[in-house]
Structure 1
Amino acid sequence: MPPSADPSVSVTLAEIARIAGVGRAAVSNWRRRHESFPAPVGGTDTSPQFALSQVEEWLQRQGKITEVGSRERLWPEFEALGDRDAMGAAIAATGARLAPAGSGEEPPIAEGLSDAQRSLVERAVVLARKHGAYDTFDFLLGRWLDTHVRQLSITPLPLADLMAEVAELSHDGGTDDIGTVLDPACGTGGLLLAAARRWADPASGHSPDTPLRLLGQDIEPPQAALAAVRLLLAGHSPGQGAEWTVDVQPGNTLRADPHADVRADVVLCNPPFNERDWGYEELATDSRWTYGLPPRTESELAWVQHALARLTPGGTAVLLLPPAVASRKAGRRIRAALLRARVLRAIVALPPGCAPPHSVALHLWVLRAPDKGETDPSSEVLLVDAADTQTETAGGTQRGGRAGIDWPLLRRSVLSAVQAGDGGEDRPCAYASVPVIDLLDDEVDLTPARHVPGPASAGLLGLRRSWTRFGTLLHELRDLTTTLSKLELSVEDRATQSTATVGDLIRAGALTLRSGQQPADGAVAAGDAPADAVPVLTISDMLTGGRPAGWLTAREASAGEAAGTLTVTTPDEVVIVGAYRAFDAWVDVDAPTVLGSQLFAMRVDPALLDPWFLAGCLRAPANARRAGTHASTSSRIDIRRLQVLRLPLPEQRLYGEAFRRLSTFERSLREAGTVGRELVNGLTDGLSAGRLPRGWT
């Protein structure tokens, strides 16, 4: 394969490192040590761009790579296509070429490929046949999704799996009765893939004589094409013992549905939100609106009725919808009709962060198509409030402690409620089966929090857990108090006798110092973060409590670090704040963390320095006063002037252990205050509701 079909394709230092299989620092060293290293052809001084063909030739001459050609070197050529749709179409065409013969046709989008795209597809196919078809396509799709994550609405894999499980539990026919699954707004096929992996395998109860049918449609042709080939390749990937048939079409589902004559056993869908131009005028007399014409502002209720219209009698649909659909005034007539027809079976309120937009607590709507043979339709609706399901934290510290979705806990709580199990004292969320007649009031507000008995059930469990945690913290504080109170400081002030500055330690090779960098505008997401998020810590966060308010996905953080545009910590690095009024230093035990401007990361040589000792010495208030540029509260700290005791490593470790226990003491004090406030608030709510136990004194 030639080095590059297009000599104009350029790569960053991070991409060169991936191609060569080394770290970015190694590439920077090559540039300094070798005059023959290719000169930049673009970019900036801090982020230069190099011609891919020149780089590959140099790497081969230097023996840095044995052959030209890898998945990493392939991606820059796709990225050079520039346009998101052009990149997606080329990746889809690559996947179609890699699919086993007879498993599917080339997607229509491939017919409009340019010569550059076709040439790139050919090289990608040659490479994939050496390195694995499914792995190569999955790599390209993952890079495409990462590059355009802000422009796409993707259903995270844990949520897709949960939606499939909820559909299975709600489907009366059982797993062996699920033969056709439809997603009318499938994106890149995540929900359909979750369904296939759950129901296509005969071990799950599916009949081996009838392959599972996966039907999908998306308004964006590149995404529809990507979904189709993704499902085809996944069905023939190594280790996949089951197969399925795939029919994914591009187009506007509400206006032109190619599956109008098909009836699915299950519909899974994450439809677009808040659409205004969904077809209100031209679809006014459509037969799908059995429960009323959706108002112009209620596009989500159009998707709800579309899903019901495409189900077999007794089939199940699970849709991910914004919470406003359950309460908006414009939709109350249709909500009432859904209740009276007994087709709305459950609404589950999820915690924020489960899917984009991450700041919103989305709802799952579970619907069941009317079955003519059903003689006793349910007269109740299950409402589940999992919006406050506790999140997992990394260590519970003020800095670095970050909230994410505890997916195992959320799955257990939601499935327990859908199964209508008792759940007992270990029930992690509140739910209730509410009679339909109680919901048919003037508002028809179906928001679960308005109807489930929160304080009386989940609240009691939360109080018990808080008391348990508070007791544990008090026990920890007693132990630490006993230990730390024995630290009778000696009269001798060793800091005045022998110290070294951070600058001295850097020159001696005992540590390296990295400066934090401000992420690009609009790159940082806000709100509760998903489980794999990397927090972005800024100086503003430090001034308002020390908890990161923003975050990036793990892939964004990794890509930014590799490109040299982000500073991401590693475990046991020391983080320092360079602003006087927020000055602090600590060991980042919860790494990775993305550091903004005025924050610094120190990586120590463990043979010369103990990180806890270093952090403890650096954070001393007297140290900040000495290293401050001036005495005002807006001054900055000259990090290189901060002083550290000169001690042998064994003695450093003794000091480091004392500093570590002092840090734990500080953290436990802070957490005890937080849990104490939760207890006060919970007890106040309960007492104000008249729930004081009889005989209490």
Structure 2
Amino acid sequence: MNRGAEVTAGDIARLADVSRAAVSNWRKRYPDFPKPVGGSMSSPTFPLDEVEQWLEANGRMPTRTAVDRLHLVLQRASMDTDDAIAAIVRRLSDAEARTGPTAQAVAEILAIADEIGLGAVQEALATRFVDLRDRRGAGGRSTSTEVAALVAELAQPQGATVMDPACRTGVLLHAALTRRAARVVAQDADDDLVAIARARLASVDGVARVEVRRGDLIDDAFGDTRVDIVVSDPPNGGGWPYEELAGDLRWEYSLPPRSEPELAWIQHALARLHPGGHVWMLLPPGVAERPAGRRVRRELLRRGALRAVIALPTGVTAPYNMRRHLWMLRRPEVVDGPQAVLMVDAEQPWPEAAEIIRSAMRAHRADSPPPDTVGAHAVRLDPVSLISEDVDLTPSRHVSGAHPAHDFTQVSATRTRLAAMMSALPETLPPVHTRRSSRDPVADTTVGDLIKRGTLVVLAEPGAALHVGDVLISSTGPRPELLVVDDTDDGRTLDGRHICLRSNPDHWDPWFLVGCLGSAANLRRVVSTGSIPRIEVRRARIPSLSRPEQHLYGEYFRRLREMLAGLQQATALGEEFVEMTVGGLLAGTLDTDG
């Protein structure tokens, strides 16, 4: 910060990651604490440069990443609101507008951009914007980067023109640009979202042409434009301007009902494609089954427009409390008729689910059924079988039972594996003992304090190299994943879905940290309560035990996690055995022992 800036006690508390009461105590206990230079008796202000020097000299300045410092700039400039962040973003992309009341904040943010790159700063600002909008329920949610990357991979946008007619913050088009789309065009009805998306897309290296405008279903900013690919995560729920657009020529597959805005967005996207172009659209699961939309769904099938419906795992993209469907559609050629439809039900952990989807789509593009490796999760159907009375396109209702029943040899082999796994479980169960002696309660401290002291380091920037003994924590909840990096992952880089805690081996046992962080008490502290549960690991509390005691506890925690992993594997295999057996009994390939 520049010399001359002033901060309140609340600002100091945020700067030092402590409570305001702690700041009040410092003022009373330490004569050298900076004196007020302004404000009022009830809310004095202090010289920021002196405050930072005092915090550094007394070991109370926390280690902060560039993104942490960016958030502090916003807070100090009183610009930590969604509309203020959008204003900052506009100024960052306009050199002639870097004057006025936000000039100081813009200059500081540009200095951070010099360190980590303008693209990283734009991404951090967009993330903060979405988080703030989400907290006040203003519709700022954004597609997750993992899902956006998969959509871009499946869409194959290299050299193509790609459109998003309801772009939000531009996540999907950003992923398309990283896969060398030649041109991207986007619109959104929200001016602030347009500003965020425009800045985010402009920061991608390359020679692609980028156009982001204000627009919606009524005032279409690209009504005369035809593109190769449409990717979108359009607004869900509510209604759409039915009366104003009832006679529009875009409704080739029947007029969407008043209560089905998603079916209007689907047809809008198809109308903006060249013949043979594809749509990849994220939709709520109700679009596949609601009675009001069955006429449109039937027409999409009958004319060969709908090509795939993919059910993603729960919690991989916003809103995180439900599964989302990814529809793939194709603008038919003149002679096109009904086409085979791929159904995928991928309710597995994300890496496994993504690979199932890739494998099934590769086979579908080759006009082949899904390979055996994903046959339990995907099926390729004749559209005639889908054009029933309800026209229900929910993947789970078609994938289940679409494959032949397992024979006796397969079921028997699975039973043998399950019996062996269950017989090994008692050996993994650690013993428990009552305490043989009493001891005083153990003092504890927060992870934030340990970071300030230097015994723990937090790494959050993607791309950082991982070392053996690092502790990985997923950055979103509701129950964070906790891992210890071993020899197999040494040197791997940190991804955007995790943060890393690195400890001095002389201070902290990694398995002890994992056990503490995963406790019920700490989960209540670190998981935020928003619709996107975020992990604030600095709030976690760690008992202050000696290194030998930590090792004993850590080894026990490791054994508990191994036991839990064994139980989960046995449960999964047990469910598979039950499903195989029931299917075989009903199909007549198996018999009971009676």
Same fold (TM over 0.5): yes
> Structure 1 residues 425, 333: CA separation in 2 closer, same or farther (over 3 Å shift)?
closer
Is residue 533 of structure 1 aligned with residue 459 of structure 2?
no
> Could you tell which deviates more after superposition, 459-468 or 681-690?
459-468
> Structure 1 residues 194, 37: CA separation in 2 closer, same or farther (over 3 Å shift)?
same
Output the amino acid matched with 1:182: M
User: Corresponding residue for 2:33?
Assistant: 37
Write out per-residue CA displacement over residues 307-351 of structure 1, whole angstroms, 9 at most, x where no aligned residue: 011111111111111111111111111112222221112211222
Is residue 78 of structure 1 aligned with residue 74 of structure 2?
yes
Is residue 60 of structure 1 aligned with residue 53 of structure 2?
yes
> Structure 1 residues 495, 5: CA separation in 2 closer, same or farther (over 3 Å shift)?
closer
**Structure 2: how far apart are the matches of 1:434 and 1:346?**
10
Write out per-residue CA displacement over residues 111-137 of structure 1, whole angstroms, 9 at most, x where no aligned residue: xx9942355334434554566433433
CA contact (8 A) 1:350 1:363 kept: yes
Output the amino acid matched with 2:151: M
1:173-322 equivalence runs, <5 A: 178-200=159-181, 212-235=182-205, 242-251=206-215, 253-276=216-239, 278-322=240-284
Q: In structure 2, the residue corresponding to 1:380 is in which secondary structure?
A: coil
Q: In structure 2, the residue corresponding to 1:78 is in which secondary structure?
A: helix
**How many equivalent pairs are there?**
518
**Structure 1: how far apart are the matches of 2:563 and 2:115?**
55
1:356-375 equivalence runs, <5 A: 356-372=318-334, 375=335
CA contact (8 A) 1:225 1:250 kept: no
**Structure 1: how far apart are the matches of 2:30 and 2:83?**
39
Deviation at 1:682, TM superposition (A): 1.4
Aligned with 1:595 (options 506, 509, 523): 523
CA contact (8 A) 1:95 1:230 kept: no
User: Corresponding residue for 1:160?
Assistant: 148
Deviation at 1:367, TM superposition (A): 1.1
User: Corresponding residue for 2:439?
Assistant: 501
Output the amino acid matched with 2:264: A
Q: In structure 2, the residue corresponding to 1:91 is in which secondary structure?
A: helix
> Structure 1 residues 247, 465: CA separation in 2 closer, same or farther (over 3 Å shift)?
farther
Q: Bigger radius of gyration, 1 or 2?
A: 1
CA contact (8 A) 2:370 2:380 kept: no
Gaps of 5+ in 2: 448-472, 481-494, 502-507, 526-538
User: Corresponding residue for 2:130?
Assistant: 145
CA contact (8 A) 1:11 1:50 kept: no
**Structure 2: how far apart are the matches of 1:266 and 1:246?**
15
Q: In structure 1, the residue corresponding to 2:310 is in which secondary structure?
A: strand
User: Corresponding residue for 1:343?
Assistant: 305
Deviation at 1:90, TM superposition (A): 1.4
CA contact (8 A) 1:188 1:224 kept: yes
Q: Percent identity?
A: 30
- Report the TM-score, using the length of structure 1 for normalisation: 0.63
**Structure 1: how far apart are the matches of 2:109 and 2:361?**
42
**Structure 2: how far apart are the matches of 1:689 and 1:443?**
26
Gaps of 5+ in 1: 19-23, 42-47, 98-105, 169-174, 201-211, 236-241, 392-403, 507-511, 516-529, 538-553, 562-568, 576-586, 616-655
Aligned with 1:607 (options 530, 535, 547): 547
> Structure 1 residues 464, 295: CA separation in 2 closer, same or farther (over 3 Å shift)?
farther
Aligned with 2:421 (options 473, 496, 506): 473
Write out per-residue CA displacement over residues 380-438 of structure 1, whole angstroms, 9 at most, x where no aligned residue: 332323243x22xxxxxxxxxxxx66454344444345435555442265333322222
**Structure 1: how far apart are the matches of 2:2 and 2:30?**
24
User: Corresponding residue for 1:446?
Assistant: 393
User: Corresponding residue for 1:136?
Assistant: 121
CA contact (8 A) 2:315 2:321 kept: yes
Output the amino acid matched with 2:324: L
**Structure 2: how far apart are the matches of 1:494 and 1:451?**
53
> Structure 1 residues 228, 194: CA separation in 2 closer, same or farther (over 3 Å shift)?
same
> Structure 1 residues 451, 472: CA separation in 2 closer, same or farther (over 3 Å shift)?
same
Q: In structure 2, the residue corresponding to 1:595 is in which secondary structure?
A: helix
> Structure 1 residues 456, 303: CA separation in 2 closer, same or farther (over 3 Å shift)?
same
Output the amino acid matched with 2:147: L
> Structure 1 residues 434, 39: CA separation in 2 closer, same or farther (over 3 Å shift)?
farther
User: Corresponding residue for 2:587?
Assistant: 690
CA contact (8 A) 2:236 2:284 kept: yes
**Structure 2: how far apart are the matches of 1:249 and 1:141?**
17
Deviation at 1:264, TM superposition (A): 0.7
**Structure 2: how far apart are the matches of 1:130 and 1:228?**
22
**Structure 2: how far apart are the matches of 1:143 and 1:50?**
29
Output the amino acid matched with 2:171: G
